[in-house]
Chains A and B, each alone.
Chain A
């Protein structure tokens, strides 16, 4: 239990229970209905009902209470009407999950469900009329099983239906730079263009895993900033990944994740079939692939590695090998940062401040890597740091 807790801490967890509680005119706060049955005991509910049916200042606000080892997300509501015994009806629909799990993703759903129930109550007295109780129970059962299984749920009561969907809440996407190469994820390679917005429609055909952002902007004839925000959007929705530009002069180093390749059979198989050069030949061996990754270190560029180990003879596509390594952070790219140490820099030398690496400078100045390398080699006032 404890290990499970530390593994899942702060991650999204499943819904353990959904319950509907109301403030009964005579019996006070109580649970009307819950799925699965008896998940929240009467005793536990009595301890926390102050946070489930709270004072009116907190009504119609998403409230999450985390105590007694459970986390409850709710949205307390009060409906004023003279038909009720106290001229008002208080209720709350709550989602329960494990105390160590993240629950933000349920907040919009709880809110939406509550708004739906308010409407149902006003129209049909759906909640306050006991006749509907079995239907509510059935509805809760459906919601909890559908949401846990497929993250989407559609419920229809009377003539209305609502759609619930657990949205993934991700961090803000990183900034996109000119020198980066967007790569479409495999499962979206055959995505139809018609569903995208206009900019994406124009940009997407040029995202082929080869062109960098600057080039895409030029080829697609779309303004650079627009391309960047379009790609940022695609990164946010996980359609695209950003990788450093592939060059044979690049230097990579392996990371600690490399051991995963030797340990995890499925992962290794996935890698091997990804990096294969030709499909009609036997797929590469794990030994050959691991050998190339393992020899990636400071001072050894990809060209040297290819000459040394001739990956193509072993049916390995070195380009895909690098792609795969970067995507799964088995390796990372080591960049060269020129630093100008002289006294008065010229316009280009001003870029040699230790913050821009070769790719960035090449993109900004339009120079080829070889040309830049020559220029810097000839310049005695420049020191190169590799990191």
Chain B
């Protein structure tokens, strides 16, 4: 559906407008026309809108491009007059939709003292294309236009090409067979050939690497196409189209602790970058290692982190790499929900070829339950075995058969009724005694009695600032007078200070946790809470990275405060955008 129906090249200058070239230019086939006639309904029946839509749908399903017929129903003159737009409309996006066809372009204009050239490279698409796919074509048209104008300024490339094409048009004008004209143009003009290659690349791989006039290299990629081609073997149930937007979102969410995993051989990478940036790519690839994070790769390769982001983002966009969390023993993997594993899957055979003696289904069934590499190996085994397992995990990650589970933390105290003795409270499932520390808490507020009173309720909001102020003034008074206070009391003051950052309900809940009397624990907890790590937005690995904590340290803390924190496991959207649906 996202294939272009046609590429149209229109010029406009002081001598008027002209459709110079379009590709494909072959006339509609006879059989299509007859089948169209067969389907004709009773002319007297009323066609409802819904029926029309349904009809369109079934035709789309049958793979008949109704729209492609329509492109050619408009004559070249009409198309030319439509796309030779007013000069004020040049150098911005231009889109025209006629019935079911959407014409997308970005007219390029070059003005000199007494003349101008407006060149418009138009892509005809089916109207149902999504917004972000259309955006890709704008971009392509824009870049092509820029490249052509550049060559025009340098060696008058465009003028020469236009002249060649116009001459052919004028010589055969009475022939009325546009096919013949375009045939000749295709033979004579390098620009026309370029557009032809472009068309084929767009329809097949979505990866474009054309050279205009043997000097300007244009690299372009339709990410949805490239990713689709990469996972062409995924033909289980309906595999949804990956929207470019989803890929963009994944690239934006890159973090320094992420890593990346190449999906192709490094030798295949160079065709996705223009020669000028090949050096940086090589530099990055030299230090590439799926066990390393982007940050350590950036320092190894001596590249700024931003550049590494850009490079990796580029590779992901071009479907040459995928984002992962660097492979390590503690990573927990599970089979991804859309893994195309079945008896006849080509992946099964490819896996067996890559790892002789191993069965994909057997290996992957270990990941039916969340499992880490560390779990699957024991220190007693030969280290080579672990390496082999790591290789297999990498292979499965490359094919998006596995996804990694991360643990997220949500701060959520339980608001139990104070006089609630029956029912299941926290203490019932073997946690710590909760009543013990209640003496520490400030006066019981009326809000406590209401189990539904969640932090943002109006009453508690109004209370915070006042209590905050009073505590602050208390403290300043104490600081001035109480220089001789004992260590212990000082600690208490500090604790109170920390607790002030919470609102009433949360404070009470935290005070019930025994670990809250320990200054260091509480301090760390408050710091993490205030940095916003406990809102289910950041996984443990991220917290460890940004707060410079060890896993054991963090896990201990989370365990100590488990009465007010809820942990849950799910995927990181950056690393599994393929299955990540937009909702």
Tell me if A259 is interfacial: C-beta within 8 Å of chain B: yes
CA distance A354 to B342 in the complex (A): 4
Closest Cβ of chain A to B562, distance in Å, is: 11
Closest Cβ of chain A to B141, distance in Å, is: 13
* B410 touching A294, Cβ below 8 Å: yes
Which residues on B sit within 8 Å (CB–CB) of A298?
334, 368-370
Tell me if B162 is interfacial: C-beta within 8 Å of chain A: no
* A387 touching B335, Cβ below 8 Å: yes
Which residues on A sit within 8 Å (CB–CB) of B384?
none
* B370 touching A297, Cβ below 8 Å: yes
Closest to A339 in B: B361
Tell me if A199 is interfacial: C-beta within 8 Å of chain B: no
Interface residues of B in 46-103 (CB under 8 A from A): 49, 53, 57, 74-75, 78, 81-82, 85-86, 88-89, 92-99
Q: Please, how many residues of chain A have a CB less than 8 angstroms from a CB on the other chain?
A: 73
* B413 touching A287, Cβ below 8 Å: yes
* B130 touching A10, Cβ below 8 Å: yes
Tell me if A104 is interfacial: C-beta within 8 Å of chain B: yes
User: Do A299 and B369 contact each other (CB < 8 Å), given the known contacts A58-B98, A262-B410?
Assistant: yes
Tell me if B337 is interfacial: C-beta within 8 Å of chain A: yes
**Segment of A124-132, A369-377, A378-386 in the binding face:** A378-386
Tell me if B236 is interfacial: C-beta within 8 Å of chain A: yes
Interface residues of A in 209-262 (CB under 8 A from B): 253-259, 262
Which residues on B sit within 8 Å (CB–CB) of A385?
335, 339, 341, 361, 364-365, 368
User: Do A57 and B368 contact each other (CB < 8 Å), given the known contacts A288-B414, A298-B334?
Assistant: no
**Segment of A115-123, A146-154, A181-189, A278-286 in the binding face:** A278-286
CA distance A285 to B426 in the complex (A): 13
Tell me if B359 is interfacial: C-beta within 8 Å of chain A: yes
Closest Cβ of chain B to A110, distance in Å, is: 12
**Segment of A20-28, A60-68, A90-98 in the binding face:** A60-68
* A66 touching B568, Cβ below 8 Å: no
Output the residue of A64, A169, A265, A340 with the most chain B CB within 10 A: A64
* A258 touching B424, Cβ below 8 Å: no
Output the residue of B74, B343, B344, B583 with the most chain A CB within 10 A: B343
Which residues on B sit within 8 Å (CB–CB) of A71?
95
Tell me if B325 is interfacial: C-beta within 8 Å of chain A: no
Which residues on A sit within 8 Å (CB–CB) of B342?
339, 353-355
Tell me if A42 is interfacial: C-beta within 8 Å of chain B: no
Which residues on B sit within 8 Å (CB–CB) of A353?
342-344
Which residues on A sit within 8 Å (CB–CB) of B478?
none
User: Do A64 and B97 contact each other (CB < 8 Å), given the known contacts A257-B583, A294-B567, A332-B337?
Assistant: yes
CA distance A108 to B344 in the complex (A): 46
User: Do A386 and B369 contact each other (CB < 8 Å), given the known contacts A67-B89, A287-B414, A355-B342?
Assistant: yes
* A383 touching B343, Cβ below 8 Å: no
User: Do A57 and B89 contact each other (CB < 8 Å), given the known contacts A263-B535, A286-B412, A339-B343?
Assistant: no
CA distance A174 to B359 in the complex (A): 34
Which residues on A sit within 8 Å (CB–CB) of B96?
51, 63-66
User: Pick the contact of B566 from A54, A169, A257, A294 — CB < 8 Å?
Assistant: A294
Interface residues of B in 345-383 (CB under 8 A from A): 345, 359, 361-362, 364-365, 368-370
CA distance A314 to B451 in the complex (A): 12
Closest to B54 in A: A172
Closest to A310 in B: B424
Q: What 1/0 mask marks residues of chain B from 447 to 466 whose CB sits below 8 Å from any chain A CB?
A: 00001101010000000000
* A354 touching B568, Cβ below 8 Å: no
CA distance A76 to B454 in the complex (A): 58
* A283 touching B423, Cβ below 8 Å: no
User: Pick the contact of B93 from A61, A66, A283 — CB < 8 Å?
Assistant: A66
* B361 touching A57, Cβ below 8 Å: no
Closest Cβ of chain B to A60, distance in Å, is: 10
CA distance A241 to B238 in the complex (A): 19
* A293 touching B568, Cβ below 8 Å: yes
Which residues on A sit within 8 Å (CB–CB) of B343?
339-340, 353-354
**Segment of B2-10, B21-29, B569-577 in the binding face:** B569-577
* A67 touching B95, Cβ below 8 Å: yes
Tell me if A191 is interfacial: C-beta within 8 Å of chain B: no
Which residues on B sit within 8 Å (CB–CB) of A58?
74, 78, 98
Which residues on A sit within 8 Å (CB–CB) of B424?
309-310, 313-314
Tell me if A47 is interfacial: C-beta within 8 Å of chain B: yes
Tell me if A9 is interfacial: C-beta within 8 Å of chain B: yes
Closest Cβ of chain B to A240, distance in Å, is: 18
Which residues on A sit within 8 Å (CB–CB) of B454?
265, 268, 286
Tell me if B127 is interfacial: C-beta within 8 Å of chain A: yes
Which residues on A sit within 8 Å (CB–CB) of B368?
298, 384-387
Which residues on B sit within 8 Å (CB–CB) of A304?
none
Tell me if A167 is interfacial: C-beta within 8 Å of chain B: yes
Which residues on A sit within 8 Å (CB–CB) of B338?
387
Which residues on A sit within 8 Å (CB–CB) of B127?
104
CA distance A355 to B81 in the complex (A): 53
Interface residues of B in 401-434 (CB under 8 A from A): 405, 408, 410, 412-416, 423-424, 429
- Closest CB pairs A-B (n = 10): A10-B131, A354-B342, A259-B536, A64-B97, A66-B95, A294-B568, A287-B414, A386-B368, A387-B335, A353-B343
List 12 A–B pairs whose Cβ atoms lie within 8 Å, in order of A's numbering. Answer: A50-B82, A50-B85, A68-B92, A259-B536, A262-B535, A268-B454, A288-B414, A297-B569, A298-B369, A299-B370, A309-B424, A355-B236
10 more CB-based (< 8 A) A-B contacts, given A51-B82, A387-B338: A65-B97, A67-B92, A172-B57, A253-B570, A262-B410, A285-B416, A287-B415, A297-B370, A297-B568, A355-B236
Interface set of B (CB-CB < 8 Å, partner A) = 49, 53, 57, 74-75, 78, 81-82, 85-86, 88-89, 92-99, 127, 130-132, 236-238, 334-339, 341-345, 359, 361-362, 364-365, 368-370, 405, 408, 410, 412-416, 423-424, 429, 451-452, 454, 456, 535-537, 566-571, 573, 583
